[in-house]
Amino acid sequence: MSDTQNSNDVLVAYDGTPLKQQLAKTTRRMKLRALLLTLPLVLFIIIAFVLPIGDMLIRSFHNPTGTNVVPNFAEVIQEWDGQDYPPDEMIKVFVQDLALARKNREVGKTVGNLATRVNYEIPGSRSLFTKTARKADKITEGPYLDALIKLDKKWANENVWVTLKRVTRDYTLSFYLAATDRKYDENENIIRADELYRIYLPLLYKTIALSALITFLCFLIAYPVAYLLSTLPLRTSNLLMILVLLPFWTSLLVRTSAWIAMLQTEGIINNIFVYLGFIDDENRIQMIYNATGTVIAMVHILLPFMILPLYSVMKTIPPSYMRAAKSMGASNFMAFRRVYFPQTIPGIAAGVLLVFILAIGYYITPALVGGSDGLLISNEIARHIQSSLNWSLGAALGTILLVVVLALYWLYNKLVGVDNLKFG
């Protein structure tokens, strides 16, 4: 009997342990090694991608400002039915919480935070709360509503109290409504915002339209360039590929600043047009600080992301296919349409998806060359995060943009199929 078998014909390893057991142990060891090798990447994805997106999703509907500033009032006001005015006992709690918040001045729990939160719902109401808080400790006896109205007649507006009830809830859909140009009315019904404040949906539509236009222009320019690179001799194509990759080695700010110098009314392009007689000196074209400047600059910046996937696919198509089609009587156009173009669809799909997703979330270039007409939804998100500090509205806009991208990706997968993508 072989030394690798026991009396029951069970295969064993060299040390006498059953081979099946030894194989399972080896497999576990290999899986553990693979896990340890990928652990840094997994941690990076969780820390840099999953957690920020999760925090954004939570902030878009969770805002505890009201309960932080007026915790006792936030609890009792939820028992109010929203009709007429709250009972005077509830208003008393509100005045006491307001005076306490004014006195404590804890970070994130100041009256200014509550005033800002209400101001999102009722523009121009911030001063009402800051002014009342300064005198709240002097209101020591009822009727408290009359005392507040004596301080400021705006407290007689029932909508202020309805709004206070809403903003003192930790969880709310108000920011999603604002992000879709909607709001609550006095009866808690969802209605369209005033025409002056309907800015986010038109901006989202414009972002999608400009991103689609940029993607289409990139495709029109990149397809012949990639075809040329794939058919030229290797030495020449490598030299031209360096020119394609050159923007990657140049700072984004430098490239954008160069476009500002070229596109302005007294810039290089307008001077050339005037010199050649295409336009008069008095009729220079406005190509900067508008949507035109955004499209031109972003097409230049994103063009390599379209060329590279196309080139990688075209390089693998044998030239003999086109020669065979022509030898069978096909014209140049017919051979291209029936033989060559279908084989480049995986590269087109990859380039279109890559450029469109990058364009729809671009921020720096529109901010520098777009002016007020060429800004995208990403610039509005950044404004709320950096300037207005309305993080919840910025998070709601970011979440909506994420959902739109995922929906377009799903639709793209249905029409084209992500399995057909080829990046190289």
Residue 219 in any domain: the answer is yes
CA-CA distance, 98 to 111, in Å (whole number)? Answer: 7
The predicted pLDDT at position 3 comes to 45
pLDDT tens per residue, range 91-127: 999 998 888 888 887 656 788 888 888 888 888 888 8
Please check whether residues 114 and 223 belong to one and the same domain. no
Residue 194 in any domain: the answer is no
Please check whether residues 247 and 395 belong to one and the same domain. yes
Q: Mean per-residue pLDDT for 218-241?
A: 90
In a 3-state reduction of DSSP, which class is residue 162? helix
Taking CA atoms, 409 is separated from 206, 235, 299, 406, 422, in Å, by 18, 38, 21, 5, 16
Taking CA atoms, 48 is separated from 43, 182, 354, in Å, by 8, 32, 20
The predicted pLDDT at position 360 comes to 92
Q: Mean per-residue pLDDT for 398-415?
A: 86
pLDDT tier, 419 (very low <50, low <70, confident <90, very high otherwise): low
CB distance 162 to 188 below 8 Å: yes
CA-CA distance, 57 to 398, in Å (whole number)? Answer: 9
**Of 57, 63, 139, 43, the residue nearest 98 (C-alpha):** 139
In a 3-state reduction of DSSP, which class is residue 171? strand
CA-CA distance, 131 to 164, in Å (whole number)? Answer: 16
pLDDT tier, 7 (very low <50, low <70, confident <90, very high otherwise): very low
Domain final position from 37, 59, 81: 59
On the CB side of 143, CA atoms within 13 Å amount to: 8
The predicted pLDDT at position 418 comes to 66
Residue 188 in any domain: the answer is no
Asked if residue 233 has pLDDT above 50, the reply is yes
364: CB partners within 8 A, 6+ apart: 252, 253, 256
Domain final position from 59, 91, 109: 59
CA-CA distance, 119 to 416, in Å (whole number)? Answer: 46
- The total number of structural domains in the chain stands at 3
Please check whether residues 95 and 125 belong to one and the same domain. yes
CATH number of the domain that 257 lies in? 1.10.3720.10
Please check whether residues 43 and 72 belong to one and the same domain. no
159-168, 245-254, 309-318: the lowest-pLDDT one: 245-254
Residue 178 in any domain: the answer is no
Average pLDDT, the chain: 86
Residue 195 in any domain: the answer is no
pLDDT tens per residue, range 361-376: 888 888 888 888 888 8
Residue 93 in any domain: the answer is yes
Please check whether residues 226 and 277 belong to one and the same domain. yes
Asked if residue 243 has pLDDT above 60, the reply is yes
CB distance 297 to 369 below 8 Å: yes
Domain final position from 36, 59, 82: 59
Asked if residue 401 has pLDDT above 80, the reply is yes
Show contacts of 178-187: CB within 8 Å, 24+ apart. Answer: 178/120, 178/393, 178/396, 179/393, 179/396, 179/397, 179/400, 180/400, 183/121, 184/121, 186/158, 186/159, 186/162, 187/82
The predicted pLDDT at position 5 comes to 47
Taking CA atoms, 19 is separated from 14, 22, 23, 33, 193, in Å, by 9, 5, 6, 21, 72
Residue-range definition of the domain harbouring residue 235: 200-420
Residue 19 in any domain: the answer is yes
Q: Which residue has the higher pLDDT, 222 or 246?
A: 222
Asked if residue 275 has pLDDT above 60, the reply is yes
Please check whether residues 366 and 233 belong to one and the same domain. yes
Q: Mean per-residue pLDDT for 32-40?
A: 88
φ, ψ (nearest 5 deg) of residue 360: -70, -20
CB distance 183 to 159 below 8 Å: no
Q: Mean per-residue pLDDT for 83-96?
A: 89
Please check whether residues 135 and 233 belong to one and the same domain. no
Please check whether residues 26 and 41 belong to one and the same domain. yes
The predicted pLDDT at position 200 comes to 92
- In sequence order, what DSSP letters do the residues of 314-336 get, joined into one string? HTTS-THHHHHHHHTT--HHHHI
Asked if residue 47 has pLDDT above 60, the reply is yes
Q: Mean per-residue pLDDT for 187-207?
A: 88
pLDDT tier, 2 (very low <50, low <70, confident <90, very high otherwise): very low
Q: Mean per-residue pLDDT for 285-306?
A: 90
Please check whether residues 243 and 361 belong to one and the same domain. yes
Asked if residue 221 has pLDDT above 90, the reply is yes
- In sequence order, what DSSP letters do the residues of 213-263 get, joined into one string? HHHHHHHHHHHHHHHHHHHS-HHHHHHHHHHHHGGGGS-HHHHHHHHHHHH
In a 3-state reduction of DSSP, which class is residue 170? coil
Please check whether residues 281 and 391 belong to one and the same domain. yes
Please check whether residues 350 and 227 belong to one and the same domain. yes
The predicted pLDDT at position 212 comes to 94
CA-CA distance, 348 to 230, in Å (whole number)? Answer: 15
> Residue 150, exposed/middle/buried by CB under 10 A (0-12, 13-18, 19+)?
exposed
Asked if residue 396 has pLDDT above 90, the reply is yes
CB distance 59 to 408 below 8 Å: no
Please check whether residues 292 and 239 belong to one and the same domain. yes
101-110, 149-158, 173-182, 343-352: the lowest-pLDDT one: 101-110
Q: Mean per-residue pLDDT for 390-409?
A: 90
Residue 182 in any domain: the answer is no
CB distance 200 to 378 below 8 Å: no
CA-CA distance, 160 to 183, in Å (whole number)? Answer: 14
CA-CA distance, 4 to 234, in Å (whole number)? Answer: 57
Q: Mean per-residue pLDDT for 231-252?
A: 85
Asked if residue 214 has pLDDT above 90, the reply is yes
Asked if residue 89 has pLDDT above 70, the reply is yes
Q: Mean per-residue pLDDT for 278-304?
A: 89
